[in-house]
Amino acid sequence: MKAVYVKELRSYFTSVGAYACFTLMFLIAGIYTWAINIQSASGSFEMTVSNMAFWMCVLPVPLLTMRIFSEERKQKTDQLLYSLPLKTTDIVFGKYFAAITVLLVPVAVISLYPVVLSFFGTVNFATCYSSIFAFYLMAAALIAMGVFISSLVENQIVAAIGTAVIIFFNYFLPYIASYASSSAVASAVFLVITGIVIGLIVFLMTKNYVVGVLTAAVIDFALVLFYFLKQDFFEGLVPGVMNSISLFDKLDVFVGGIFDLTGVIFYLSVAGVFLFLTVQSLEKRRWA
Amino acid sequence: MIEVKNLTKRYGDNTAVSDLSFKVEAGQVYGLLGPNGAGKSTTMNIITGCLAATEGAVIIDGHDIFEEPVAAKKCIGYLPEIPPVYPDMTPREYLSFVGSAKGLKGSALKEGIESVSQITGIKDVLNRVIKNLSKGYRQRVGIAQALIGDPDIIILDEPTVGLDPAQIIEIRELIKELGKNHTVILSSHILSEVSAVCDEILIISKGKLVAGDTTENLLKIFETDPVTEIQAKGGAEEIKKALSSLEQVKDVKITDAKTDGTVTAQVTSETGGDIRENIFYAMKESGCTLLSMNIKKASLEDVFIKLTSDEISPELKEKLKLAKSNTVDAENEEKEENPDESGVC
């Protein structure tokens, strides 16, 4: 794992990727700090973190993750990785840890902002740093999503757009949820569509439409069965689920001054699930 | 060293490799030969663990590539068809990545990089960025990558593609040198290359192994009645008559007759025995001037074309089968002689 990690870190800093990401993040952080802290003479940097979180992720995260696997496939260097005595988990974790190490640089620099602000006003350091910490964990979870998407497609632009769309969608989930119908039928229909989407993803990973269709069919059949057995379970389910899978929503708990352990575990689990899926996607590729 | 058992790879309805089985012994250079799309690269990708097989098994030095991939891959250095180099790295960075992924550390890693760059002649470009290197140098970096860590088995997919003639000769010498203490498998569709460096040849066509033997044995199977091609000055009919009258001659074919009286003829004679002397005297007696004479031998090209053409004649199949069963018998005999060894296996 160390070999992949070192190689990946080196490639970030010898290409434009990491620097473009840093530039963007410093620009965004600068604008928000100026608008929220300096313009209105406020020392609450946690509000800045909360407000800029979306822009700090939607562009920089795809920049970090888009080439992680797509580029390897395009240049046929994935064959090298497969033929070296490395486990697939070594490859995935090596690359992932390199990406979150790169992310540590802007986060470390931004961590200096509250210190600077404290010279001119009152800063609640505990809330500030727990927010920055939560932001880092959230971004790390989003990076895991980006890594997974990069492992699915060969074109890095497609990988970048896909990741950005998912981050965008995730950010607006609570807003969408507030408009979503909370009736049981709507929930069931939504879940059936989700089942079909999962089938589609399985198809993309396996290139086997029988498996894809089967996955969708099993999920949807189970859902319909469950719907007729226990209808009240579906009442208000979709808005509830939407709210609970929103990564950005959890961040606001930290901003509110609570160090939320469930939030930490949630972020780590999201990262874990997507890294697991990445390993599966790479393993599947060999069976193409 | 490597045992490939009933290997099959299907992409949807398309079968790339079908029921391929062969054994590779230690310390030999093997040539995987076949026309484009025969399944050479697919086979190599499966052996090196880059691809999974639909059916079958690959055992490398006692390790199944699908069951114990890391242990099996430690024995292999692989150069795929397209050298898998990172364009933004220098060869030194690249080799240090591959070396450390193969488990080399510290001074061992440094020595490894030194020795492989010495062998492949990339010392001068070690600190240049790979994307600025020529195709030939990239290929060498790719070979260096396969050699680092000194694996027992080296698998090279078309190693001389993109190199200039001098480099090709160099790489061939290198492969011969490697063959002394490594097992080498290389694929190629260049026959002269294979016959120059390989001890054993495996011919693959449409995903199937059509022949696997030493170069000499393959040529022996395809040995036909010797044909002597002659050029002489004189009348075509006259020459034909004079040649046909010779005792061992089976058939005379006039292939070319120019206006200046130069006639080219192909004389098929019985197996064994050189008839060139007799031809000389026959020409002399008939008053024709003999210009040139040479015996045509079945070349590897002929073998290749015959084996990979759509239809292999039943006669040929019979010959190949005989050759195969002979080797099988020999193996069985060996096993019987050393019952202890086979017991260990």
pLDDT of residue B332: 47
Residues B48 and B109 in one domain: yes
Residue A182 has pLDDT above 70, yes or no: yes
Residue A12 token pair: 């970030």
What digits encode the pLDDT tens for the residues B289-300?
Answer: 888 888 876 666
Which DSSP string do the residues of A87-137 spell out, in sequence order? -HHHHHHHHHHHHHHHHHHHHHHHTHHHHHHHTTS---HHHHHHHHHHHHH
Residue A278 has pLDDT above 80, yes or no: yes
Residues A37 and A57 in one domain: yes
Q: How many domains does chain B have?
A: 3
Higher pLDDT, A55 or A202: A55
Mean pLDDT of chain B: 82
- A273 pLDDT band, cuts 50/70/90, is very high
Mutation test of the interface with chain A: which of B11, B48, B50, choosing the one with the most A Cβ atoms within 10 A? B50
Residues written for chain A? 288
Residue B331 has pLDDT above 50, yes or no: no
SS3 B3: strand
Residue A145 has pLDDT above 60, yes or no: yes
Q: Is residue A108 part of a domain?
A: yes
Which positions in chain B touch A15 (Cβ < 8 Å)?
Answer: 88
Residue A8 has pLDDT above 90, yes or no: yes
* B-chain residue closest to A7, CA distance: B97
Residues B160 and B247 in one domain: no
Closest Cα partner for B238 from B254, B224, B218? B254
Residue B113 has pLDDT above 90, yes or no: yes
Looking at the partner chain, which of A3, A11, A80 has a beta carbon nearest the beta carbon of B84?
A80
Mutation test of the interface with chain A: which of B54, B97, B127, B185, choosing the one with the most A Cβ atoms within 10 A? B97
Q: Decide: A288 and A207 in contact? Cβ < 8 Å.
A: yes
Residues A162 and A21 in one domain: yes
| Phi (first) and psi of residue B280, to 5 degrees | -55, -50
Q: Is residue A157 part of a domain?
A: yes
pLDDT of residue B344: 38
* A-chain residue closest to B69, CA distance: A85
Looking at the partner chain, which of B52, B74, B86 has a beta carbon nearest the beta carbon of A77?
B86
- B86 pLDDT band, cuts 50/70/90, is very high
- B324 pLDDT band, cuts 50/70/90, is low
- B318 pLDDT band, cuts 50/70/90, is low
Please state, in angstroms and rounded to a whole number, the distance separating the CA atoms of residues B307 and B273: 28
pLDDT of residue B342: 39
Q: Is residue A241 part of a domain?
A: no
Task: Give me the mean pLDDT over the A65-69 stretch.
Answer: 91
Amino acid A83 reads S
- A148 pLDDT band, cuts 50/70/90, is very high
Residues A158 and A188 in one domain: no
Mutation test of the interface with chain A: which of B9, B10, B51, B143, choosing the one with the most A Cβ atoms within 10 A? B51
Looking at the partner chain, which of B48, B52, B93 has a beta carbon nearest the beta carbon of A83?
B48
* CB-facing half-sphere around the CA of A282: CA atoms within 13 A: 28
- B316 pLDDT band, cuts 50/70/90, is low
Residue B181 has pLDDT above 80, yes or no: yes
Residues A94 and A211 in one domain: no
Residue B334 has pLDDT above 50, yes or no: no
Q: Which domain holds residue A22?
A: 2-175+246-286
Residues B30 and B125 in one domain: yes
Q: Which domain holds residue B326?
A: 313-344
Closest Cα partner for A69 from A16, A178, A146, A179? A146
Buried b (16+ CB within 10 A) or exposed e, B23-47: ebeeebbbbbbbbeebbbbbbbbbb
Please state, in angstroms and rounded to a whole number, the distance separating the CA atoms of residues B149 and B155: 14
Question: Nearest 5°: CA angle at B127, between B126 and B133?
Answer: 75
Residues A281 and A195 in one domain: no
Residues A163 and A109 in one domain: yes
Residue A220 token pair: 């949807």
Residue B92 token pair: 């030194």
Of the ranges A36-50, A234-248, B165-179, which one carries the lowest mean pLDDT score?
A234-248
CA distance B56 to chain A (A): 13
pLDDT of residue B315: 63
Which positions in chain B touch A84 (Cβ < 8 Å)?
Answer: 73, 98, 101-102
Which positions in chain A touch B86 (Cβ < 8 Å)?
Answer: 7, 11, 75, 77
Please state, in angstroms and rounded to a whole number, the distance separating the CA atoms of residues B96 and A9: 14
Residue A127: partners with Cβ closer than 8 Å, 6 or more residues away: A44, A46, A254, A255, A257
Of the ranges A121-125, A235-239, B317-321, which one carries the lowest mean pLDDT score?
B317-321
- B102 pLDDT band, cuts 50/70/90, is very high
pLDDT of residue B110: 93
- A165 pLDDT band, cuts 50/70/90, is very high
- B79 pLDDT band, cuts 50/70/90, is very high
What digits encode the pLDDT tens for the residues A187-217?
Answer: 888 888 888 988 888 887 777 788 889 989 9
Higher pLDDT, B271 or B251: B251
Which positions in chain B touch A93 (Cβ < 8 Å)?
Answer: none
Please state, in angstroms and rounded to a whole number, the distance separating the CA atoms of residues B5 and B28: 19
pLDDT of residue A279: 94
Looking at the partner chain, which of B52, B74, B82 has a beta carbon nearest the beta carbon of A76?
B82
Q: Is residue B245 part of a domain?
A: yes
Of the ranges A42-56, A223-237, B59-73, B214-228, which one carries the lowest mean pLDDT score?
B214-228
Q: Is residue A252 part of a domain?
A: yes
Task: Give me the mean pLDDT over the A25-45 stretch.
Answer: 91
Q: Is residue B153 part of a domain?
A: yes
* A-chain residue closest to B47, CA distance: A83
Residue A166 has pLDDT above 90, yes or no: yes
Q: How many domains does chain A have?
A: 2
Contact check, Cβ <8 Å, A288/B101: no
Q: Is residue B301 part of a domain?
A: no
Q: Decide: B301 and B33 in contact? Cβ < 8 Å.
A: no
Looking at the partner chain, which of B49, B87, B98 has a beta carbon nearest the beta carbon of A82?
B49
CA distance A74 to chain B (A): 10
Q: Decide: A99 and A147 in contact? Cβ < 8 Å.
A: yes
Residue B3 has pLDDT above 80, yes or no: yes
Name the interface residues of B facing A (CB cutoff 8 Å): 11, 45, 48-52, 69-71, 73-74, 76, 78, 80, 82, 84-89, 93, 97-98, 100-103, 145
Residue B328 has pLDDT above 70, yes or no: no
Closest Cα partner for B250 from B272, B278, B270, B236? B270
A-to-B residue pairs, Cβ atoms closer than 8 angstroms: 74
Residues facing residue B200 across a β-bridge: B30, B214
Residues A208 and A279 in one domain: no
Q: Is residue B306 part of a domain?
A: no
Looking at the partner chain, which of B76, B82, B87 has a beta carbon nearest the beta carbon of A83?
B76
Task: Give me the mean pLDDT over the A53-63 stretch.
Answer: 93
Where is A244: in which H helix or E strand? helix A237-244
